[in-house]
């Protein structure tokens, strides 16, 4: 799948917007972040499952690092562009 720069920018913006929204609501549950990030990915790429877009294991990354911002960066680093 080819991910163009517009999709990458849209995904980046939407993931960070979602993180900010959850932080403002003082959400601490990492599963809420996991689900929200997965939903964002599938909104940007409606024809694909989130795991077809990124190699990042979102839940595991959140569990290990406990940092949603770092997880977003990892999601973007591991985009599957073939």
pLDDT digits (tens, 9 = 90+) for 4-47: 999 999 999 999 999 999 999 999 999 999 999 999 999 999 99
How confident is the model at residue 2, as a pLDDT? 83
- Global pTM? 0.95
CA–CA gap between residue 36 and residue 27 (Å, rounded): 11
CA distances from 70 to 62, 73, 74 (A): 8, 5, 6
CA–CA gap between residue 47 and residue 78 (Å, rounded): 19
């Amino acid at each position: 799948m080819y991910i163009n720069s517009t999709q990458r920018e849209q995904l980046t913006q939407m993931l960070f917007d979602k993180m900010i929204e959850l932080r403002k609501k003082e959400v601490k549950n990492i599963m809420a972040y996991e689900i929200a990030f997965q939903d964002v990915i599938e909104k940007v790429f409606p024809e694909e499952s989130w795991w077809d877009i990124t190699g990042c294991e979102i839940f595991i990354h959140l569990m290990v690092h406990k940092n949603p911002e770092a997880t977003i960066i990892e999601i973007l680093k591991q985009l599957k562009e073939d």
